[in-house]
Amino acid sequence: MKINRLCALTIMAVVLCACNKEQKFTYNVDKFYDLEILRYEVPGFDELTLQQKELVYYLSEAALQGRDILFDQNGRYNLRIRRALEALYLNYPYEKNTEEFILFEKYLKRVWFSNGIYHHYSEDKFLPEFTQEWFVNACAQANVQYDAAILPVMFDPAVMPKRTTQQDGVDLVLNSAGNYYGEGVTQAEAEAWYDAHKDTTDEPLWIGLNSQLCKDSTGAIYERVYKIGGLYGAALEKVNFWLEKALTVAENDNQREVIAHLIELNRSGDLRSFNAYCIAWVKDLQSRVDFVNGFTETYSDPLGITGTWESLVNFKDMEATRRTEIISDNAQWFEDHSTTNPIYKKEEVKGVSAKVITAAILAGDCYPATPIGINLPNANWIRKSYGSKSVTIDNLVSAYNEAAKGNGFNEEFMIDDDIRALYDKYGARCGDLHTDLHECVGHGSGKLMPGVSKDALKEHASTIEEARADLFALYFLADDKLVELGLLPDKEAYKAAYYQQMMNGLMTQLVRIEPGKDIEEAHMRNRQLIAAWVYDHCENNEMEIIERDNKHYLQINDYPGVRRVVGDMLAEIQRITSEGDYDAAKQLVEMYAVKVEPNLHKEILERYAVLNLAPYKGFVNPVYTPVIGKNGAIKDVQIDYTEGYIEQHLRYSRDYSNLPDIN
């Protein structure tokens, strides 16, 4: 149902990898703090027709035009801060090799990566390592003007410290710095407004998906809708300019309908156009070029209602898609054979289309950090009546895998040579299948009981939904059906995925958590929830953590036994989802998904530090340049991979900066 925000499914960090010598392609671009920047190839682009290349180019331009929207959604001061930093970077009159300027440059690169001043994953505010005094003086020396209001936001750790909080017992809206609600709006006021405006028809509108709730001078709550002429209108107007061009080279009538509905949505803000866009998009199964564009995922809204801006332009990998088509063709079999109660199963699984894609451009909340799998649309009634699309982004997975070779991670954390050999043999294949099953059939499985709202699980909805899809994938990875279908070579292969997933959830994903902090990000909570619950319910030592040479390792003694426990958990998570059992969801998340064992955490961080790896990855995009013929028409589109990280973001800020500082 939602984009898989795992970044790479594993938390394995990347080192400089072997390059494609024939094309002189290098994956590594930059590394700073806990972040590493990679490139991705776009194999098959040159094989597209001229019309398809032109379509990719226009859709890519439409994607990039929304860049400022995400910065503003991530915090109302972000655009002012980014522009002040960029102006100082470009106009600084002195040597740039001083310690202070180097720290300043690293901070700017981090702001670009996170689309604002909050860590893209933990969502904590990161502070500059240079002083406020240095910044103020440097801006004066460079004649850079800025709003003084940004200073406490940048430098004071107590001011707006968290982008999206999920902390129990606090007002989630007032204590989140994300710009999804106007100043002064409380959680109770927002929830009351949404309850009062909820659409209870059979084909409901997703009220609040494309708007900001604000409070007027009388205290009344009202919407500012994202549309041309409304909030973010200047950027959406530019998006529509390029969508109009894409409309002229669409591959077929169905795709033209998709683009036309999106253009109308941006123009009017009418959510009926959003529903029409989603339905047309699900039905478009013939086009090779495809895209997502607009306000889609709701992870960053503390109440899980409003969508963040994102875009992904892609085209189908014809060969690899055969794998997902096999899964899609057997979706009903997977549904029928899951461990969930029959009353929660879909009697008829409709329209689960699946494919493997090649990403052509990443934008908004898909850039620089990106999903590796997508399952959309998110509206349950559309999924039930029309189906969904599931994709695995193969060239991004390939980039992660190629860049991670030989980095020492497996040698440090996997228990022995046999497990490492198993993972080397089957890990990549199982990783692909895990993503395919998660997106293709996991999110699309099960149903809500009559009268249960999609918002029933509130702030825990994302964690529970990701756990549901992951459990579905894990359970069926171990099924003989995958060998029968030719998706896995033998019955031992699934063990590679089980070991990696449980090791990650119990131990190694902790490298992403600062000492003393709880887990707050939904995908990390999901992974620990699964691993910790399964570990706790393995009553016969099917899985245990052992100590060897003062280091802790995961040991799985009974893989079929672990699978049985996974199946039990899948049944319970589906029950919680289907019944909208908020209390049970809250209890599970609080018991298993939030807290970190400090001694184990300390050990994992120390072992990881020796490897000198970065736990988070992101990408620079390729650059598409149209070649204009003598008649003024595009005769080709060229692709270039040489643009650097700093150069790309400075160009994006120059060419795609469409919003004012304050919106």
Rounded Cα distance, 278 and 383, in Å: 10
pLDDT of residue 440: 83
Could you tell me if 623 and 640 are in contact, meaning their C-beta atoms sit under 8 angstroms apart? yes
pLDDT of residue 351: 61
Confidence (pTM): 0.81
Please state which of the ranges 19-33, 145-159, 551-565, 609-623 shows the lowest mean pLDDT.
Answer: 19-33
Task: Using the predicted structure, report yes or no on whether residue 374 has a pLDDT greater than 90.
Answer: no
Rounded Cα distance, 606 and 604, in Å: 5
pLDDT confidence tier of residue 169, bands split at 50, 70 and 90: confident
pLDDT of residue 16: 27
Q: Could you count the other beta carbons within 10 Å of the beta carbon of residue 472?
A: 29
CATH (domain of 45): 3.30.540.30
Q: Could you count the other beta carbons within 10 Å of the beta carbon of residue 411?
A: 11
Whether 155 is covered by a domain: the verdict is no
221's tokens: 């709550």
Q: Which range marks the domain in which residue 399 is found?
A: 28-67+230-619
Backbone angles phi, psi at 433, to 5 degrees: -65, -35
Q: Count how many Cα atoms sit within 13 Å of the Cα of residue 56 in the half-sphere of its side chain.
A: 30
Give percent above pLDDT 90 in the chain.
81
Q: Tell me the average pLDDT across 167-174.
A: 90
Gyration radius (Cα) of the chain, Å: 24
pLDDT confidence tier of residue 444, bands split at 50, 70 and 90: confident
pLDDT of residue 24: 59
> H or E stretch including 393?
strand 388-393
pLDDT of residue 404: 76
Whether 176 is covered by a domain: the verdict is no
Whether 138 is covered by a domain: the verdict is no
Whether 297 is covered by a domain: the verdict is yes
Whether 533 is covered by a domain: the verdict is yes
The helix/strand/coil state of 201 is coil
379 residue type, one letter? A
114's tokens: 């996170």
Q: Tell me the average pLDDT across 550-567.
A: 97
pLDDT of residue 12: 35
Provide CB contacts within 8 A for 223, sequence distance 6+.
208, 211, 212, 213, 214
Which residue in 219, 378, 415 sits closest to 297, CA to CA?
Answer: 378
Q: Tell me the average pLDDT across 353-358.
A: 88
Which residue in 55, 171, 60, 54 sits closest to 459, CA to CA?
Answer: 171
Task: For residue 117, give Cα distances in angstroms to 121, 156, 165, 270, 563.
Answer: 12, 12, 15, 32, 41
Rounded Cα distance, 251 and 253, in Å: 7
Q: What is the pLDDT of residues 100-139, one digit of tens each?
A: 999 999 999 999 999 999 999 889 999 999 999 999 999 9
Q: Tell me the average pLDDT across 596-602.
A: 94
pLDDT of residue 221: 97
Rounded Cα distance, 219 and 209, in Å: 22
Q: Give the chain's mean pLDDT.
A: 92
Whether 130 is covered by a domain: the verdict is no
pLDDT of residue 122: 85
Q: What is the pLDDT of residues 493-514, one digit of tens each?
A: 999 999 999 999 999 999 988 8
**Number of structural domains found in the chain:** 1
Whether 380 is covered by a domain: the verdict is yes
Whether 650 is covered by a domain: the verdict is no
Q: What is the pLDDT of residues 336-355, one digit of tens each?
A: 999 999 999 999 887 678 88
> H or E stretch including 432?
helix 417-437
Burial (Cβ within 10 Å: 0-12, 13-18, ≥19) of residue 23: exposed
Q: What is the pLDDT of residues 183-241, one digit of tens each?
A: 999 999 999 999 999 999 999 999 999 999 999 999 999 999 999 999 999 999 999 99
pLDDT confidence tier of residue 556, bands split at 50, 70 and 90: very high
Task: Using the predicted structure, report yes or no on whether residue 18 has a pLDDT greater than 50.
Answer: no
Q: What is the pLDDT of residues 513-543, one digit of tens each?
A: 889 889 988 889 999 999 999 999 999 999 9
Could you tell me if 522 and 165 are in contact, meaning their C-beta atoms sit under 8 angstroms apart? no
Rounded Cα distance, 533 and 527, in Å: 10
Q: What is the pLDDT of residues 21-47, one digit of tens each?
A: 344 578 889 999 999 999 999 999 999
pLDDT confidence tier of residue 398, bands split at 50, 70 and 90: confident
pLDDT of residue 405: 72
Task: Using the predicted structure, report yes or no on whether residue 15 has a pLDDT greater than 80.
Answer: no
